[in-house]
């Protein structure tokens, strides 16, 4: 006799198997490629950050780990380096202002337990990453924005300062002469730091901090403070972070996508390449020449991946048994 109860159970199980990718466990004719980044090896501690100048950040993060800090302490320490650097024109102090001359900052942080904190449109505070960490640790919320984020920072002992340096102001005044918003690949309009770390216990954390695209519209928020877009961590799987034109990263939820692809069996390199290809497939024809998005990822074993839309994306890597390196990422388009 037809057993309806049994049929429903089997049908449900089938759906679950497909939905969770379990079906991939069945023997397939073709072995998966499992492409690796040529510079990737297994092992932790590891710290990885977007853009070569951030070897200074990976150094600080590494020292934090050496001194017994957690992955969370390490990514915060690393992110604070470009935030305080007046010569980094895309992060914190010295960051390029928006179209109206205001330096507005976005940042987020995430820990091994899936806790997350974020600030957007924060002005006058040099270390938005530390405010984001406090949002995570001291409030029931994930994201504070604008005046509310500032008020929270001040209540917690942060002090305001003028973050618009003379150099950033001069560059903005020069830009005002043409007043053209044209993000270009790999130049200082986007040098956001996304940083990921695994500590000696094998726990993962991530952070991302930026002044956003130079000369953006007043009020614009990018991908960097959006959990799952600019950065995402899942301690069971790995972490990912992004730099480049934030609108594209937000529309594809790039960092979350990369972590989910790794969950389903991709290497960090394959996952970064797939997330980049997704952008190219969906928006490629409409993008101005040279539009950049770069992704970094690490998995639980400490393997890493890096990939970008166009050539020129690079990153900093410090891993157990090795030195502090700066490396070039492969790209979809040279």
Q: What is the binding site for ligand ASP (CB under 6 A)? A: 90, 190-192, 210, 212-213, 222-224, 243-246
Q: What angle do CA 108, 112, 115 make, to 5 degrees?
A: 50
Judged by beta carbon, residue 44 or residue 121, the one nearer ligand ASP is 121
Q: How far apart are CA 267 and CA 284, in angstroms?
A: 24
CB of 158 to ligand ASP, least distance (A): 22
Judged by beta carbon, residue 118 or residue 210, the one nearer ligand ASP is 210
125: closest CA among 108, 100, 150? 150
Q: How far apart are CA 122 and CA 154, in angstroms?
A: 11
Judged by beta carbon, residue 67 or residue 87, the one nearer ligand ASP is 87
43: closest CA among 315, 327, 326, 317? 317
Phi, psi of 238 (to 5 degrees): 160, -160
225: closest CA among 242, 204, 205, 237? 242
Q: How far apart are CA 78 and CA 260, in angstroms?
A: 25
Three-state secondary structure call for residue 311: coil
Sign for the pseudo-dihedral over CA of 305, 257, 247, 204: negative
Q: How far apart are CA 137 and CA 118, in angstroms?
A: 11
Judged by beta carbon, residue 196 or residue 245, the one nearer ligand ASP is 245
Judged by beta carbon, residue 231 or residue 259, the one nearer ligand ASP is 231
Judged by beta carbon, residue 70 or residue 210, the one nearer ligand ASP is 210
CB of 269 to ligand ASP, least distance (A): 20
Three-state secondary structure call for residue 114: coil
For the question of residue 20 being annotated catalytic, the response is no
CB of 329 to ligand ASP, least distance (A): 14
Phi, psi of 319 (to 5 degrees): -135, 150
Catalytic residue among 89, 104, 192, 252: 192
CB of 121 to ligand ASP, least distance (A): 11
CB of 214 to ligand ASP, least distance (A): 8
CB of 292 to ligand ASP, least distance (A): 8
Element (DSSP H or E) covering residue 79? helix 71-84
Query: What tokens does 236 get?
Result: 């069971």
Round to the nearest angstrom and report the end-to-end CA distance of the chain: 63
Annotated active-site positions, please? Answer: 192
């Amino acid at each position: 006799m037809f057993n309806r109860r049994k049929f429903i159970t089997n049908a449900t199980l089938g759906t679950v198997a497909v939905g969770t990718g379990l079906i991939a466990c069945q023997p397939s004719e073709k072995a998966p490629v499992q492409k690796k980044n040529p510079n990737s090896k297994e092992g932790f501690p590891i710290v990885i950050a977007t853009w070569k100048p951030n070897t200074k950040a990976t150094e600080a993060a590494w020292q934090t780990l050496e001194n017994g800090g957690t992955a969370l302490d390490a990514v915060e320490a690393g992110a604070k380096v470009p935030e305080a650097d007046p010569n980094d024109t895309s992060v914190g102090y010295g960051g390029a202002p928006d179209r109206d001359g205001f330096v507005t900052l976005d940042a987020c942080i995430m820990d091994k337990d899936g806790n997350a904190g974020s600030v957007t449109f924060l002005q006058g505070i040099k270390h938005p990453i530390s405010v984001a960490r406090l949002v995570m640790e001291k409030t029931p919320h994930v994201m504070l924005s604008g005046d509310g984020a500032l008020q929270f920072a001040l209540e917690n002992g942060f002090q305001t300062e003028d973050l618009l340096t003379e150099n950033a102001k001069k560059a903005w005044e020069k830009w005002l002469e043409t007043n053209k918003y044209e993000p270009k690949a790999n130049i200082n309009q986007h040098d956001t730091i996304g940083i990921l770390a695994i500590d000696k216990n094998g726990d993962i954390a991530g952070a991302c901090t930026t002044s956003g695209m130079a000369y953006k519209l007043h009020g614009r928020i990018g991908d960097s403070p959006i959990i799952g877009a600019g950065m995402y961590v899942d301690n069971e799987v790995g972490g990912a972070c992004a730099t480049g034109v934030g609108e594209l990263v937000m529309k594809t939820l790039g960092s979350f996508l990369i972590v989910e692809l790794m969950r389903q069996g991709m290497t960090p390199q394959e996952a970064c390449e797939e997330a980049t290809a997704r952008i190219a497939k969906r928006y490629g024809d409409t993008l101005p020449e040279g539009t950049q998005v770069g992704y970094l990822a690490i998995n639980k074993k400490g393997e890493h991946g890096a990939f970008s839309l166009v050539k020129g994306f690079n990153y900093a890597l410090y891993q157990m048994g090795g030195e502090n390196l700066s490396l070039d990422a492969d790209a979809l388009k040279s």
